[in-house]
Structure 1
Amino acid sequence: MNTIYCLVPKGYWEEWKGRDHYLPRDYEQEGFIHATKGDDLLEKVANRVYAAYEGELFVLVVDEDRTSSPVKYEQAKDGLLYPHIYGPLNQEAIVDMRRMERKEGHWAIGPSIR
């Protein structure tokens, strides 16, 4: 399995339950869905983007090979390559969901919640 991750606040994810696809809040502005690859990069991004976030944070575990929208790896400002999903994320590609947990003030990937 070719795994990539998408971070999503719990409250926002709940608005998409039962739908056949998912789109983040910033999709219209960005034109793609931000994703990461690898646990270390996931935690780095969570701690940068959601540093001050106090709510529950989920991780969509995505099988890149099962996405119906194209995935392109593009270089970001930090010089690293990130997977970007250009279109809706189909539910069939989401193979697991995990909870992010705060440990000593930093986000870390937690257990499966599916």
Structure 2
Amino acid sequence: MTLIFKIVPRSLWQTAVDHGVFPGAPVDLADGFIHFSTAEQARETASKHFAGQSDLLLAAFDAESLGEALKWEPSRGGALFPHLYGKLAPAAALWVRELPLAPDGTHTFPEIDR
């Protein structure tokens, strides 16, 4: 199983849970796909795109379970990032955990390799 991760504001995730579907955050909707990160990419994604933001969640998904709608595409420096071309069922998350801010303003990640 290949784990991939979505960093999402709690309010957006709660709305998705309430409606049974996550269409994407504003950046996802603008780009036409839902952005995910691998375990190796998640911290950089948080620092680059979510710096200083609180009330975030980290949701883990099994990449293979997302089927053919998930594409691995080059991004930052040529690294392959997982992008989902479609809507996401919040119920497909293996787990969802808090992504709190540390006193230094960085995010404190849970163990994300399982």
TM-score (normalised: structure 2): 0.82
Match of 1:91 in 2: 90
Match of 1:107 in 2: 107
Q: Distance in 1 between matches of 2:67 and 2:21?
A: 10
Q: Distance in 2 between matches of 1:67 and 1:12?
A: 20
Query: What SS does the aligned partner of 2:64 have?
Result: helix
The alignment of Structure 1 onto Structure 2 pairs a total of residues equal to 110
Q: Distance in 2 between matches of 1:57 and 1:12?
A: 10
Match of 1:21 in 2: 21
> Is the Cα contact below 8 Å between 1:33 and 1:85 reproduced in 2?
yes
Match of 1:9 in 2: 9
> Is the Cα contact below 8 Å between 2:17 and 2:91 reproduced in 1?
no
Q: Which protein has the bigger helix share? A: 2
Give the drift of 1:20.
Answer: 2.7
Structure 1 moving runs of 4+ over 6 Å: none
Q: Distance in 1 between matches of 2:91 and 2:17?
A: 13
Match of 2:60 in 1: 61
Identity of paired residues, percent? 23
Give the drift of 1:69.
Answer: 5.8
Which whole-Å deviations, capped at 9, do the CAs of 1:15-44 have from their partners, x for residues lacking one? 112333212232332110000011x41011
Report whether the alignment pairs 1:82 with 2:102: no
TM-score (normalised: structure 1): 0.82
Give 5+ residue unaligned stretches, structure 2: none
Query: What SS does the aligned partner of 1:62 have?
Result: strand
C-alpha RMSD over aligned residues: 2.1
Give 5+ residue unaligned stretches, structure 1: none
Q: Which protein has the bigger strand share? A: 1
Distance of aligned partners of 1:111 and 1:19 in 2 relative to their CA distance in 1, 3 Å threshold? farther
Distance of aligned partners of 1:16 and 1:69 in 2 relative to their CA distance in 1, 3 Å threshold? farther
> Is the Cα contact below 8 Å between 1:68 and 1:89 reproduced in 2?
no
